[in-house]
A and B are shown apart, each in its own frame.
Chain A
Amino acid sequence: ETGVTQTPRHLVMGMTNKKSLKCEQHLGHNAMYWYKQSAKKPLELMFVYNFKEQTENNSVPSRFSPECPNSSHLFLHLHTLQPEDSALYLCASSQEGATGYYGYTFGSGTRLTVV
């Protein structure tokens, strides 16, 4: 596999459930990101990891909990979500932990619906 792979592609969960989103990159990058994309709104940066260390947390509610066990894998653990959390969640990776000069490579996203 190449690029950035996200699973699952679609997820429906109740407000009391706990679930996790997974992201894996096969590009040798050392920075990974979670973005939230809601309809008609800009992509919102949620978390940034450089060399497995979290460097940004843009005031994200604690019901979202990221985990980066190594530079190739990134998880987003979800619990007690609200219906307004329904969105497309995108994972991205880049080289050297900077927007670069190289930009980001995105996965296809997980479409999350909270019922």
Chain B
Amino acid sequence: EDQVTQSPEALRLQEGESSSLNCSYTVSGLRGLFWYRQDPGKGPEFLFTLYSAGEEKEKERLKATLTKKESFLHITAPKPEDSATYLCGRGSARQLTFGSGTQLTVLP
């Protein structure tokens, strides 16, 4: 069974305070590990796809990394506009399975 577990459930940071979000997933049959950002009342917005252990991708203050069992979303010097729910999704041949998300709040 495809499983995705995200932690923490919620995270509050001061502006400029760097941190990381965690996503652990079922390894068998993985066809990509996806990160999305979701703002309140909106659909998820694609951020990154990672395919193999050791891969890293960056976009502005965000960097996603992948190991054999986990993925991390590192947020460097966050700003209030980075506040959102971040979703991790595990791709298989059949579907994209999501975790419950991490709700990030960045305080000014």
* Residue ranges of A at the interface with B (Cβ–Cβ < 8 Å): 4, 6, 33, 40-43, 45, 48, 56, 90, 92, 98-109, 111
Nearest-CB distance from B62 to chain A (Å)?
Answer: 16
The count of chain B contact residues (Cβ–Cβ below 8 Å) is 26
A41 interface neighbour in B89, B93, B100, Cβ under 8 Å: B100
Considering residues A98, A105, A108, A109, which has the most beta carbons from chain B within 10 angstroms of its beta carbon? A98
* Chain B, Cβ-Cβ closest to A48: B95
Chain A contacts of B93 at CB under 8 A?
98-99
Asked if A99 and B43 sit within 8 Å, CB to CB, the answer is no
Nearest A residue to B91, CB-CB: A99
Q: Across the A-B interface, how many residue pairs have beta carbons closer than 8 Å?
A: 69
Q: How far is the CB of A61 from chain B (nearest CB, A)?
A: 19
Q: Which residues in B have their C-beta under 8 angstroms from that of A103?
A: 32, 34, 46, 49, 89, 91, 96
Given A99-B31, A109-B42, answer yes or no on A45-B91 (Cβ-Cβ < 8 Å): no
Q: Is B69 an interface residue (CB 8 A)?
A: no
Q: How far is the CB of B10 from the nearest CB of chain A, in Å? A: 10
In the bound assembly, the distance between CA atoms of A41 and B36 in angstroms comes to 16
**Complex-state Cα separation, A90 to B41, whole angstroms:** 11
Q: Is the CB of A98 within 8 A of B31?
A: yes
* B76 close to A (CB within 8 Å): no
Q: Is the CB of B95 within 8 A of A56?
A: yes
Contact indicator B31/A100 (Cβ below 8 Å) = yes
Q: Which residues of A contact B46 (CB under 8 A)?
A: 103-105
The reply to whether the CB of B59 lies closer than 8 angstroms to some CB of chain A is no
Contact A40 B91 (CB under 8 A): no
Chain A contacts for B98, CB-based, 8 A: 42-43
A101 to B21, CA, bound (A): 22
